[in-house]
Amino acid sequence: MSTSARPTLEIPDDHWSIGLLLICAAIAAAVISPLVWVFWQASQVDLEQAIELTTMSQTLGIIPRSIALMVSVTILSMIIGGPLAFLTGRTDLPASRFWTITAALPLVIPSYIGAFAFVSAFGPHGEFTDLLGIDVPTIAGFWGAVLVITLYTYPYVFLTTRAALLSMDASHVDAARTLNATRLEAFRRITMPRIRPAIAAGALLVALYALADFGTPAFMRLEVFTSAIYWEWGFGNIEFTALLAIQLLTVAAVVLAIEARVGREVKPGASGTGTRFRLGWLRWPATIALAFLAFLTLVVPVVIFGIWLTRDPSVGAGVAFRPTFAINSLYLAAAAALVAVIMAVPVAYYAARDGGILSRLFERATYVGFAVPGIVIGIALVYFGANLMPALYPTIPLLIFAYVVRFLPQAVGITRSAVLQVDERYSEAARTLNASRFGSFRRVMLPLIVPGVVAGGGLVFLTTIKELPATLMLQPAGLETLVTVIWHANETLSYAQAAIPALVLIIVSGLSMLIIIRQERYHVT
Amino acid sequence: MSPEPPISRRTMLAVTSGSLVVGSAGCLETLGFGDPDCDFVDQADTSTAAFAWDDLDDLEGELIVYSGRTSDQIYPIFRCLEEHYPDFTVRVDWGSNEEQLNKLRQEGAGTEADLFYSQDSSALASLAAEGYTQPVSHDVRDIVPADIRDPDGLWTATSGRVRAVQYNTDLVDPAELSDDIFAYAEDDRYAGRIATRPNSGSFLAFIHAMFDLHGRDETEWWVESMVEQQQVELYGGGSNMARAVADGDVEIALGNQYYAARLIENDPTTPIGLEFTRNDAGALFNVAGVAVTDAAGNASLANETVKHLLAAEGQHFFVRVNGEYPVIDGIEYVGDLPNPDALESPRYNLSQLIDFDEVNQILTTYNMRV
């Protein structure tokens, strides 16, 4: 948001802007199309039932609990993700690339694995109590859910903030320091305004994720708003499910509006030069903190799987692991990331540069799919696919579309904050040198926002690889991925058989992160 | 910043070519189970059964199954059928029972499924009532007892299971346990020690049956008392609950026999035992079963497959491999549970399990929900 001008509804008159507007409108329309089904289903509920359902959710107190969960998780994620981004992106932390990967990896661990591992590891009957011989406390209830969701979603804040720090011109900070500003002051006045949209973009994703998550609260035996959605789903009351999803969306709309206010003001900078902050002796506590976090988020589940694997000698008798599972997962995730990035760039660019009502509306519209539980998007696309597009149902393109609907905002948010950081004068300069609008976009803007775009694609990749509800619903029969195999093992109570695919999921995603981060570094250094 | 950045194109190429390479390598393959043990096919005693595989038409072609059952319970028999009939293939879409039910409703005539395989008769009865299924052939209707199939054959049971009382054998003396489901809501001895899982199809069927067998007032009283007086612990997953019983977090749980049996199978020393109530909804005999979809592209193949599941070999599989009850007369039950005859399940026609609005209302009123 530019502070000077209020947003206006202006219809552009040049080809470039009209083209951009139409493309963005089409993308927004495509990703909110499942909502048509949601509203149509919800409209089947008669008024009396609707009121009953609403009062029920009030008496259960699940809306305030969901909001409290969301707020707590969001604040904690910023407290963890922000400093980690600074540590790995702006300091001389030893092995910073390694720590970047370990700090980002929790994102690939599905909540039904993470939460399950925590429930199994802690508590008086937990594996850790057995292993260590001392009583470790139970992780459950509200704070258990806050802890676990935070540990597996803070990477949103970490990755968005890190991308912003990397593309920020840190020589401004040096300049401020030469002008006798303290480190804190330089951070507050130079760095913070530049990375604030990125932090807000990451925090928004965390908030919406926490709001729409079902798996973790279920494991922690915490009744939240999504519990009500799944409850009605279990009864096959699809129209109640839809109505509750719309209630959830209204909460999400408030969150989106808040983020739209704080996340826009920005001081543009340029490429990422400038000195790195020297940690000195602080490098050790920093390293220990990172190692502890990696232990909690990554080692705990791996150890739990390892224990199961050694305990159950019959592994391999049931679901045998096949490389195809990993290949299918990688293929789907890469395709979803690619499509999401292609769709995110115009929407993010338009939203960051135009400032009009339409561009902002299109950008906000992409978040809708993220704020609704996956089963709702999945079942909406089942309806559309089977009844309106039988040729596409059930096919891989439709499944990839479902991923894009769910995860596009992850790429949009981070790309938008990257565009906001680019000084508009660069593009103007290119145009005075007779570059076309598209030419200046491609040759000036695109290279500058690459870290953001790559990080956005990475986020979509990592979350797609762990996506379960829409995958189960829309996968062509016979197509199994790492998560569906983990789900099978979980369903059949053969947890040991989840161990290998879960380890492969972590390793494959870790390697993919390595590739993503290399792309980002190539540009920056 | 360099004026001609090589990176954007390189990045795009790397990402694009990466996904293309992976794409060409990623062919569709079925779930990688090891080769199942098909010995049960030869071991089945075909002399007392209505029919055996050899009496039936050969299976030929591709059958698409939507499964709400878990893979371990049905994949082996489908694999063995594929082995038995070289021209027969099965493609299974796996999912939770509720998911498949919702999906079949949304797909309507556009469904790919020939056969819906459900772990719970209420999903089958609901789909049948809504017109999404078609009748199975008369010879199937003739051999499956009327209580556990649709009167017109719009769905049929394939195997049985029973609601049970799970208890921790270290903490609970079986003599303490009642054979009356209402005692669990009334008796102080169980207060604070008992759990159940209210979101399973099996539990909802149990409440529905209680409603039909014992009336609304009794049912409401039971739910209210379980919550208010007995402080029932509510679990969201059957395996978590059985685990909690085994760990002693909770001493007694009302659930399916299946989960406890599974824990014992994994580790025979697990301190979990089973008891059954008598002649009330607490010992409801419920079934897993199948329905041929109304839109089935290959209804005759689906029908013939159903007969194979009900034949001696199929029933033998459910009993021997799954530890379930047979649903056809003349099949011997072997297993750790009481014999079907010794089991005192109430007489209850499972086709009644269609409208759950009142069940939902009662559970919501007293907040017996997760």
The architecture that CATH gives domain B39-160+285-344 is 3-Layer(aba) Sandwich (3.40)
Which of B93, B107, B199 comes nearest A234 by C-beta? B199
Domains B39-160+285-344 and B162-284+355-365 belong to one CATH topology: yes
Is the CB of residue B38 less than 8 Å away from at least one CB of chain A?
no
Q: Please give the average per-residue pLDDT across A20-35, as a whole number.
A: 95
What is the pLDDT at residue B71? Answer: 85
**B247 at A interface, C-beta within 8 A:** yes
Distance from CA of B303 to the nearest CA of A (A): 20
Give the mean pLDDT of A327-336. 95
Residue B8: its pLDDT value, please?
39
ipTM for the complex shown: 0.87
Q: Is residue A310 part of a domain?
A: yes
Q: Select the more confidently predicted residue: B4 or B243.
A: B243
Judged against a pLDDT cut of 90, whether residue A68 lies above it is answered with yes
β-partners of residue B133 are B293
Measured between beta carbons, the chain B residues lying within 8 angstroms of A475 are 93
Q: Which of B102, B188, B216, B232 is nearest to A230 (CA)?
A: B102
d(CA B324, CA A284): 58
**Mean of pLDDT values over A169-185:** 80
Q: Is B5 helix (H, G, I), strand (E, B) or coil?
A: coil
The H-or-E segment that residue A119 falls in is helix A111-121
What's the average model confidence in pLDDT over A343-360? Answer: 91
CA atoms of A64 and A224, how far apart (whole Å): 9
Tokens 């949601």 correspond to A38
The CATH code of the domain that includes A170 is 1.10.3720.10
Domain ranges of chain B: 39-160+285-344, 162-284+355-365
Q: Is the pLDDT of residue A132 over 90?
A: no
Does the beta-carbon distance from B8 to A447 stay under 8 Å? yes
Query: Which is higher by pLDDT, B27 or A130?
Result: A130
Instruction: Quote the CA–CA distance of A522 and B15 in Å, as a whole number.
Output: 14
Better-predicted residue by pLDDT, B33 or A235: A235
Contacts of A387 in chain B (CB under 8 A): 106-108, 110
> Among A326-335, A429-438, B240-249, which is the least confidently predicted range?
A429-438
Nearest CB among B26, B28, B33 relative to A478 is that of: B28
Is the model's pLDDT at A4 over the cut of 50? no
Q: Measured between CA atoms, how close is B31 to chain A, in angstroms?
A: 6
- In this structure, of A27-36, A193-202, A290-299, B214-223, the range with the lowest mean pLDDT score is A193-202
How does residue A521 score in pLDDT terms, banded at 50, 70 and 90? low
Place of tokens 């530049």: A194
pLDDT reading at A524 higher than 60: no
* Nearest CB neighbour to B236, from listed A221, A325, A493: A221
- The pLDDT-based confidence of A80 (bands split at 50, 70, 90) is very high
Quote the pLDDT of residue A266. 58
Q: Which pLDDT score is estimated for A448?
A: 85
pLDDT at A391: 92
| B199/A230 Cβ within 8 A | yes
**Domain B162-284+355-365 falls under CATH 3.40.50.720:** no
pLDDT at B304: 97
- For tokens 């062919």, name the residue: B27
Q: What is the DSSP-derived secondary structure letter of residue A190?
A: I
| Contacts with B19 from chain A: Cβ below 8 Å | 331, 334-335, 338
Q: What is the mean pLDDT of residues A438-459?
A: 86
pLDDT tops 90 at residue A56:
no
Contact check, Cβ <8 Å, A331/B27: no
For residue B216, pLDDT beyond 70: yes
- Cα(A440)–Cα(A452) distance, rounded to whole angstroms? 18
Query: Smallest Cβ distance to A236: which of B16, B108, B126?
Result: B126
B31/A319 Cβ within 8 A? yes
Answer whether B239 sits within 8 Å of A493, measured CB to CB.
yes
Residue A319 has pLDDT above 70, yes or no: no
Q: How many domains does chain A have?
A: 1
Q: How many helices (H) and strands (E) does chain B have?
A: 14, 10
* Whole-number Å distance between alpha carbons of A514 and B63: 43
- Looking at the DSSP bridge assignments, the partners of residue B275 are B165
The minimum CA-CA distance between A231 and chain B, rounded to whole Å, is 7
Kindly state whether residue A100 falls inside one of the protein's structural domains: yes
Q: What is the pLDDT of residues A380-439, one digit of tens each?
A: 999 999 999 999 999 999 999 999 999 999 999 889 888 888 878 887 888 888 888 888
The pair of structure tokens assigned to B246 is 């085994």
- Residue B34 banded pLDDT, cuts 50, 70, 90: low
Q: Hey, which residues does B256 pair with through a beta bridge? A: B163
Q: Is residue A224 part of a domain?
A: yes
Q: For residue B352, what pLDDT is reported? A: 94
Please report the residues numbered 131 through 160 in chain B whose beta carbons come closer than 8 angstroms to any beta carbon of chain A: none
- From residue A440, give the alpha-carbon distance in Å to each of A347, A434, A435: 17, 9, 6
- Residue B186, both tokens: 């009334």
A269 confidence band (pLDDT: 50, 70, 90): low
Structure token pair of residue A76:
């904690």
Size of interface A-B (CB pairs under 8 A): 183
Q: B140-198: per-residue pLDDT in tens?
A: 989 999 999 999 999 999 999 999 999 999 999 999 999 999 999 999 999 999 999 99
Q: Which residues contact A474 (CB under 8 A, 6 or more apart)?
A: A378, A381, A382, A385, A394, A398, A399, A402
Residue A19 lies in a domain: no
pLDDT for res A3? 42
Q: Name the residue among A221, A330, A479 with its Cβ closest to that of B28.
A: A479
Range of the domain at A365: 25-274+282-524
Tell me the chain B residues in contact with residue A60 when contact means C-beta distances shorter than 8 Å.
Answer: 367
